[in-house]
Amino acid sequence: MDVTTHSATRRPTRQIHVGSVAVGGDAPISVQSMTITKTADVEGTLQQIYALAAAGCDIVRCTCNEIEAAEGLAQIVPRSPIPVIADIHHQYKMALAALEAGVHGLRLNPGNIRRPEHIKSVASEARDRGVPIRIGVNAGSLDPALYDKYGGPTPEAMVESAQQEMAYFDEVGFDLIKISVKASSVPLMVEAYRQLSAVTDHPLHLGVTEAGPPPAGLVKATAGIATLLMEGIGDTIRYSLTADPVEEARAGRQLLEALGLRERKNVDLIACPSCGRAEIDVIDVAKRAMDAFGEREIPLQVAVMGCVVNGPGEAREADIGIAAGNKRGHLFVKGRNVAVVPESEMVEALVDWAEFIHEHGVEAALTRVDTTLAEREAARDRSALLDAKGADANHATERIVEIRKTVSDT
């Protein structure tokens, strides 16, 4: 078994298309986010959409809560680099206006558009235009009748809400559907999705709603979404964070890459947690390296390690890494020393070598310089460090005797 990727078999679902992006079936799991600008502010919204797309967002959602928003959508949709979904609450007429504006998808909350004739008129229009709809159930805004029936927002109540909406869609022959059953409670949403996936093969949109600000919000969203993805459930995801939506897109993308569900797009920075051995401020160097790489599309694994005693060994599998030693940075490519640079140039050197590898490959990088020279210098630094500080494991018994002696002498 390949243990580098997630192990569950993905649950088969039907495939729909949100504009150019396939969702469900064997399509890659997509990342969604939502703009926080007024949709009527066309330029501001487009700016945010471009930033989201650069951070890995595949599909974007904008609220359509007033006629000015629908008018904004008519201008945003043709200029957006990714498909646009209109988010509808309460006013079914806004759904019709968004369809008229040319959106690639709708999101309806069955808890707050409840009149069957309204639901069916939106579904009929979407059917005629071939536009998919997400049935977006939220534990916090269920039909009061379902709260009464189940005594609260239970997984069963959420699944029934989705099924009721599907039945209305079915009456008008509309089946371009994806479904979400979100809750802010992770156990509740996980169970609701599990139950839902057992009764439908429509693609599922995963999310923990109102997860809150990072880092707690990131932890909650990841706990819920990753648990389900590891069970093979889920076709598209959204992190709902109280933060710049770019963070949502980035987190979604990073989660899929970490689970081996999407190919790496940007640098995967691994860094040691630092410890008393660290020769540099690992947190600062890692942050500066992260900032330097930014959104650059360099799909390499890059390691930042605080010392040369354990660093290179621990990060042997990284494409490129740097470890601090004796006030210098030891650069290594696939575990082999290629250069030793002053500490102040570590980040710069890391970016330069990463760009070189991305462009020319690892083999070319290993012949770019005389590696024996770098290896010799690195070995010298390592042994100087060991001489100065001692290797933990070596001479441990003698040291303990020394310590005991010092203590008993005082």
What residues line the site for ligand SF4 (CB under 6 A)? 272-275, 277-278, 305-307, 309-311, 314
- Least Å distance, CB 321 to ligand SF4, is 10
| Cα(215)–Cα(143) distance, integer angstroms | 32
The length of the chain is 410
| Cα(89)–Cα(244) distance, integer angstroms | 22
- Least Å distance, CB 298 to ligand SF4, is 23
Do residues 159 and 146 touch, judged by C-beta distance below 8 A? no
- Least Å distance, CB 273 to ligand SF4, is 6
Query: Which has the closest alpha carbon to 117: 171, 163, 66, 173?
Result: 171
Nearer to ligand SF4, 112 or 310 (CB): 310
Nearer to ligand SF4, 256 or 315 (CB): 315
Nearer to ligand SF4, 8 or 384 (CB): 384
Phi first, then psi: give them for residue 339, nearest 5 degrees: -160, 155
Nearer to ligand SF4, 75 or 310 (CB): 310
- Least Å distance, CB 309 to ligand SF4, is 6
Strand order in the sheet with 320-325: 268-271, 301-305, 320-325, 328-333, 336-342
Do residues 371 and 336 touch, judged by C-beta distance below 8 A? yes
Do residues 110 and 165 touch, judged by C-beta distance below 8 A? yes
Give the residue at shortest CB distance from ligand SF4.
Answer: 306
Nearer to ligand SF4, 141 or 310 (CB): 310
- Least Å distance, CB 275 to ligand SF4, is 3
- Least Å distance, CB 276 to ligand SF4, is 7
- Least Å distance, CB 341 to ligand SF4, is 18
Nearer to ligand SF4, 139 or 385 (CB): 385
| Cα(231)–Cα(8) distance, integer angstroms | 5
- Least Å distance, CB 156 to ligand SF4, is 48
Residue 211: exposure state from Cβ atoms within 10 A (0-12, 13-18, ≥19): buried
- Least Å distance, CB 214 to ligand SF4, is 24
Nearer to ligand SF4, 261 or 283 (CB): 283
CA distances from 324 to 143, 281, 300 (A): 59, 10, 20
Bridge partners, 337 (sequence order): 332
**Backbone CA torsion sign across 310, 312, 316, 322:** positive
**Between the CA atoms of 330, 331, 334 and 335, what dihedral angle is there, to the nearest 10 degrees?**
-10
- Least Å distance, CB 71 to ligand SF4, is 55
Nearer to ligand SF4, 277 or 368 (CB): 277
Nearer to ligand SF4, 149 or 316 (CB): 316
Query: Which has the closest alpha carbon to 100: 131, 138, 55?
Result: 131
Nearer to ligand SF4, 188 or 303 (CB): 303
CA 247 to chain centre: 8
CA distances from 250 to 28, 181, 221, 226 (A): 16, 22, 13, 15
Phi first, then psi: give them for residue 280, nearest 5 degrees: -140, 175
- The C-alpha angle 227, 214, 186, rounded to 5 degrees, equals 30
